[in-house]
Chain A
């Protein structure tokens, strides 16, 4: 048995192997089934114990050296190969990526969500009612008899009716929801009722269809001080400013007594109209204490239950907060307008994240 060489000539070849293929050939020559190092390992079995004691470590060390050398060379060659490939793999990432269309939420919907969130904190649920109303709910129950001059002011749309039948109307306000709520729910009641309303009117600030918000509180001991506080609290929250101020003036609605017009202060900031401060005033709400006759019409005892109601234009609130100037554009479906004034789906109003976007 010849001495085991301490260093195989193969090591040098391995370290110089030009390609992965040559390196693989050298691996087979040394560590393969019939390789030279494999042969040496196999020879250990036929050695005497003593011989194995001396030769064993040498042969194992040799195998380790060869293995390491191959691994090292392989890594070097692979790195070089990768570098070469990477040098060819280039794309112009300034090319446009696939476009995902971006949608929008209509400002009226957004504002309705904001109102729902604000009023939920004040304990108001959201109530709904039909837009095609009967005369009783839209007028009579609200203390507006047929001959009342206020009826003419409503510019009512009537629906065609069969001969002899009383025509239905497109609700001229969201107030009939007050009636429906008082008739179907037991007090105490706190609701807001946003929705579509209709009047026969058309110019830059009036459209035959628009959106109104109704508010109603029916309880014991509710008075005008509560009304004033609620409206101020709501407007401060909605316009997200502490300097929002309101003033209330006596007015007239057949369904409230006393009745009030509510003005909010506004100022010019950077040439734009901003709600807040008291440089100027504009009317934003109609309100009042629910007329005892209205409460009685709904089957409640006006000596026990009293409360307030208010109404305002949702489209108008949107315009005042977000700066649109033409109401007609709200209902035109112009994609450019919707993308300009619309909201991201992520703009969900929350108390913690804010009710504006």
Chain B
């Protein structure tokens, strides 16, 4: 919402300067996004008189002017404007002046051999309009030598105010003035509403067939008018508001909307046929709107139609066909009330925004139809002449008198500030409320007010949020107790454990491309209105995002990539907290000790998965490994880690086809941890069990088994550990050899003696148990 200071002052009697006004507006909730004085750019331009004009000796289309700029020393200026002539008064810019419309700075120059000391300017050169056919011509009484901007009344700061969605009353300058007056910045001038009875009956019949969408439609005809240019004062205000003047009728309706927040519409009467009806759109009906675009309407939209069909998308945009034009002499004026919810839905469906829509959908003042129409008619008669009919009033706008409980104590209880009761009442009254004992009745233009909290906001915002005293939040006694949940703690620990292990934590998009999602089983959730096709499918895995990041890093020359992300997978059954990690490139670079660089393999992914699961508190020693992590993974070089039925992690190499589709650097391995599958640890307080180290040293024995195909190292070691849990403290695979006899696995077993050292017989016994346990798997002791 943009308006100039002088415009505001037409509604507000105030001595306040632009700075005070801007500060006050922001302070009361009408945030000023900028104050711009168009005169600043025009400061160097002066009103100047052309004394003489003679033809340029070298060019037919140029003239050599002598220009009086007010300092008594006429200047010679070369000018190409056809309208330049002796005696005219125009706008002059001297050497060194920046010309905004042509983005250049004037210099003293010689034009075809004749010295020129500046320029007489056109409207376009000063960015005041499109006119470039000639130089600006000012009236004969313009003071030569004066500042042009000042003379033209352009030294008038323009405020740009962001009006929040709850304040349609401030989408007009009058409403803004009212708020400023309530804040003590002057006196609101009452509106001057002319009384225009009309001289004849409105010849156009008006009907409402859709009272739900358009409960009220007031109209009148004006005939015998002349749709010329609007007056300069109005054009200036419209331009301050960022609108281009078009013609008097269009400008007047726009002006009333910007000035009073009241949209209206003027139809060229000669384009209408029969009665004007506010009705629902018919299936398949289309309207060519004023923006020259066709809109296909649906039956839940309100249109204004005549016998020929729909002309106007009610409350949103008029139609091209029935709009006023230069030659228009007869009009039907429409001031209607459209139901906000309907306007909002129609606007959303058509994706059509307009100044009218933004006011109607927020709710215009339902009690301002008659006065609005009178003001509108008055302006038209003043500017365009003509003769107005009597008013046709169809339907009635929904004027509801709301009664809101007013409890002065609530200002303190909710707003946290003491405001004397009399001042509270006064603020409400200045804003147009009626206060009747313990009830406040909001004005018709404040559709947003419907509860006691709204009254508190009005009182506190006018009093100023700055004045609310700081009040410490009550604090529980003692040291603040911990607040993190187990899963939050697990995520934090994983993140920092990973950083300690050399991972860089990335955050990648939750949405990925169709293709990438398909590689991991497809997305369960698809964005219907994505920002791009690449950001459409809610990720079923964190790995595609990390893969893309790895690819980008590899393309930038990174040779060692260790990426991690903590985030969610979006599955049909819910959002799952997940950790993805990806290792790519060199595990160790070539080195003077290690020789060639070494690439990552699946065991690196395994080590990281285990370390991070451990950091999250998972019982890693008990995890069962199952080969093959699923379709996205290399069938022989991936596995899952599980506990019972729960899968806690998958790791290994991705399936070569997927690695290729993701364009992953060769030798990339990955893992995904499923945090929600980690079981809760048993809570047993902070006290640890007593420390009881064994009295005797453990004994180590090595066993080598030839194992049949299909028996994994994990299964063998587990079987050995379970052979005698009392004695076997640990078992660890330390060698693997594939020979003629088959696969041989060597395991170091740690035996822990109790009170006494082992006898040979005891060692023999446990050895036999170990061999027997291995034999159950088909493993035999290697010779």
Residue numbers of A with Cβ under 8 A of B are 95-96, 98-106, 108-109, 113, 116, 119-126, 128, 130-132, 145-153, 157-161, 167-168, 170, 196, 198, 200-202, 208-209, 217, 221-230, 232-233, 247-252, 257-261, 289, 291-293, 306, 330-336, 338-339, 342-345, 348
* 8 Å CB contact of B471 from A95, A122, A209, A223: A223
> Are B344 and A148 in contact, CB atoms less than 8 angstroms apart?
yes
A215 CB → nearest B CB, Å: 11
Q: Hey, which chain A residues are within 8 Å of B345, CB to CB?
A: 146-147
Per-position 1/0 for B470-491, Cβ under 8 A of A: 1111011000101111001000
The listed residue (B469, B552, B574) touching A333 by CB distance below 8 A is B552
Determine whether B556 belongs to the interface, using a CB cutoff of 8 Å to chain A.
yes
State in angstroms the CA–CA spacing of A95 and B568 once bound together: 44
Nearest CB in chain A: distance from B764 CB, A: 41
Query: How far is A116 from B480 in the complex, measured between Cα atoms in Å?
Result: 12
- Are the CB atoms of A339 and B416 closer together than 8 Å? no
Q: Which of A100, A131, A153 contacts B502 (CB 8 A)?
A: A100
CA distance A157 to B502 in the complex (A): 36
Chain A residue numbers with a CB within 8 Å of B413 are 221, 223, 306
Assess A149 versus B483: contact at CB under 8 Å? Given A103-B501, A159-B527: no
Partner of A102, one of B164, B502, B528: B502
Whether A98 lies near B591 (C-beta < 8 A) is yes
Q: How far is the CA of A247 from the CA of B466 in the complex (A)?
A: 7
Contact status of A103 and B498, CB under 8 A, knowing A208-B531, A224-B416, A250-B28? yes
Contacts of A228 in B (CB 8 A): 416, 465, 468, 470-471
Separation of A355 and B114 alpha carbons in the complex (Å): 72
Give the CA-CA distance A124 to B527 in the complex, in Å. 33
Cα distance A289–B472 when bound, in Å?
16
B456 — which chain A residues lie within 8 A by C-beta? Answer: 257-258
- Cβ contact of A167, chosen from B340, B528, B560, B563, cutoff 8 A: B528
Smallest Cβ distance from B566 to chain A, in angstroms?
A: 7
Contact A258 B495 (CB under 8 A): no
Q: Is B296 an interface residue (CB 8 A)?
A: no
B514 to chain A, nearest CB (A): 12
Task: Say yes or no for B631: interface residue by CB 8 A criterion.
Answer: no
The stretch among B103-111, B505-513, B689-697 that forms the contact with chain A is B505-513
Q: Which of A153, A159, A260 has the most CB of B within 10 A?
A: A159
Would you give the 0/1 interface string for B403-427, flagging 1 where the beta carbon is closer than 8 Å to chain A? 0000000001111110000000000
Contact A109 B553 (CB under 8 A): no
Question: Could you mark each residue 1-37 of chain B with 1 if its beta carbon is under 8 Å from any beta carbon of chain A, else 0?
Answer: 0000000000000000000000000111101000000
Q: Once the chains are docked, how many angstroms separate the CA of A283 from the CA of B751?
A: 67
CB–CB A103/B562 < 8 A: yes
Q: How far is the CA of A122 from the CA of B451 in the complex (A)?
A: 31
Contacting pair B362 A149 (CB below 8 A):
yes
Report B260 CB to chain A, min CB distance, Å: 20
6 A-B interface contacts by CB (under 8 A): A104-B505, A123-B475, A160-B525, A221-B413, A251-B164, A252-B164
Interface residues on B, range: 35 or more
Q: Which residue of A lies closest to B535 (CB)?
A: A208
Determine which of B167, B461, B485, B560 lies in contact with A258 in the assembled complex, contact meaning CB atoms within 8 Å.
B461
A223-B414 contact in complex given A98-B593, A105-B499, A249-B465, C-beta closer than 8 Å:
yes
Whether a CB of chain A sits under 8 angstroms from the CB of B429 is: no
> How far apart sit A202 and B531, CA to CA, in the bound complex (Å)?
8
Contacts of B416 on A, CB cut-off 8 Å? 223-228
Using A113-B492, A157-B529, A257-B451 as known contacts, say yes or no to A345 and B507 having CB atoms under 8 A apart.
no
Judged by a CB distance under 8 angstroms, whether B358 is at the interface is yes
Q: Contacting B414 at CB < 8 Å: which of A123, A158, A224?
A: A224
B417 proximity list for chain A (CB < 8 A): 224-225
For residue B21, give the distance in angstroms from its CB to the closest CB of chain A: 15
B595 → A minimal CB distance (Å): 13
Q: Is the CB of B166 within 8 A of A252?
A: yes
In the complex, which residues of chain B have a beta carbon less than 8 angstroms from the beta carbon of A249? 26-27, 29, 31, 465
**Other A-B pairs beyond A147-B344, A167-B528, A331-B509, 10, CB < 8 Å:** A103-B502, A103-B503, A104-B504, A113-B492, A150-B165, A152-B344, A217-B473, A222-B473, A247-B466, A333-B552
Among the listed A100, A109, A146, which residue makes an inter-chain contact with B505, where contact means beta carbons less than 8 Å apart? Answer: A109
A109 pairs with B484, CB closer than 8 A: no
B348 touches which one: A152, A157, A159, A247 (CB < 8 A)? A152
Given contacts A147-B341, A345-B499, contact A103 B505 (CB under 8 A): yes
Q: Is the interface of B mostly helix, strand, loop or mixed?
A: mixed
**Residues of B with C-beta under 8 A to A201:** 531
CB contacts (< 8 Å) of A250 on chain B: these are 27-29, 457, 460-461, 465
Is B380 an interface residue when CB atoms closer than 8 A count as contact? Answer: no
B561 CB–A CB distance under 8 Å: yes
Residue of A nearest to B454 (CB): A257
Contact of A159 (CB < 8 Å), options: B498, B508, B526, B592: B526
Return A177 CB to nearest CB of chain B, in Å: 13
Q: In this assembly, does B558 line the interface, its C-beta being within 8 Å of a C-beta of chain A?
A: yes
Establish whether residues B556 and A336, one from each chain, have CB atoms under 8 Å apart when the complex forms: yes
Residues of B within 8 A of A148 (CB): 165, 344
- Contact of A125 with B483 in the complex, beta carbons under 8 Å: yes
Residues of B107-148 at the interface with A, using a CB-CB cut-off of 8 Å, are none
A259 touches B457 (CB 8 A): yes
A131 → B minimal CB distance (Å): 6
Roughly how many angstroms separate A261 CA and B32 CA in the complex, as a whole number? 13
Q: Which residue, B506, B510, B548, B575, has most C-beta atoms of chain A within 10 A?
A: B506
A78 CA / B164 CA spacing, docked (Å): 92
Of A106, A248, A291, A348, the contact of B468 (CB 8 Å cutoff)? A248
Min CB distance, A275 to chain B, in Å? 18
Given A95-B592, A103-B505, A146-B345, the answer on whether A252 and B165 have CB atoms closer than 8 Å is: yes
**A265 shortest CB reach to chain B, Å:** 13
Which residues of chain A are within 8 angstroms of B529 by Cβ–Cβ distance?
157-158, 200
For residue A330, which residues in chain B have a CB less than 8 angstroms away from its CB? 507
A292 touches B451 (CB 8 A): yes
B540-576: CB near A (< 8 Å → 1, else 0) gives 0000011011101100101011111011101000110
Measured CA separation A217–B474 after assembly (Å): 11
Whether A339 contacts B570 by the Cβ 8 Å rule is: no
A100 to B500, CA, bound (A): 10
Whether, in the assembled complex, B361 has its beta carbon less than 8 Å from a beta carbon of chain A, the answer is yes
B453-A196 in contact (CB<8A) = no
Nearest neighbor of A97 in chain B, beta-carbon distance: B593
**Which A residue sits closest to B496, measured CB to CB?**
A345
For A222, give the chain B residue with the smallest CB separation.
Answer: B473
CA distance in complex: A230, B588 (Å)? 49
For residue A146, which residues in chain B have a CB less than 8 angstroms away from its CB? 345
Complex: how many Å from CA A116 to CA B482?
10
With both beta carbons as reference points, the residue of chain B lying nearest to A125 in the complex is identified as: B483
Specify which chain B residues have a CB less than 8 angstroms from the CB of A200 in the assembled complex. 529, 531
Q: How far is the CA of A161 from the CA of B525 in the complex (A)?
A: 9
Closest Cβ of chain B to A20, distance in Å, is 34
The verdict on B654 contacting chain A, using a C-beta distance below 8 Å, is: no
A126 touches B591 (CB 8 A): no
Residues from chain A with a CB closer than 8 A to the CB of B70 are none
| C-alpha spacing A200/B553, complex, angstroms | 27
Taking the closest CB of chain A, its distance from the CB of B360, in whole angstroms, is 10
Determine the chain A residues whose CB is within 8 A of the CB of B358 once the complex forms.
Answer: 149
> In the bound complex, how far is the Cα of B466 from the Cα of A99, in angstroms?
56
Q: Is the CB of B453 within 8 A of A258?
A: yes
Any A CB within 8 A of the CB of B234: no
Tell me the bound Cα distance from A228 to B165 in angstroms: 24
B589 within 8 A of A: yes
Residue of B nearest to A129 (CB): B575
Residue in A222, A339, A343 whose Cβ sees the most chain B Cβ within 10 Å: A222
Contacts of B591 on A, CB cut-off 8 Å? 96, 98
A238 → B minimal CB distance (Å) = 16
Question: Do B507 and A105 touch (CB < 8 A)?
Answer: no
* Chain A residue with Cβ nearest B344: A147
- Cβ-based interface call for B530 (8 A): yes
Rounded to whole angstroms, the CA-CA distance of A104 and B502 in the bound complex is 7
Whether B743 is near chain A, meaning CB under 8 Å from some CB there, is: no
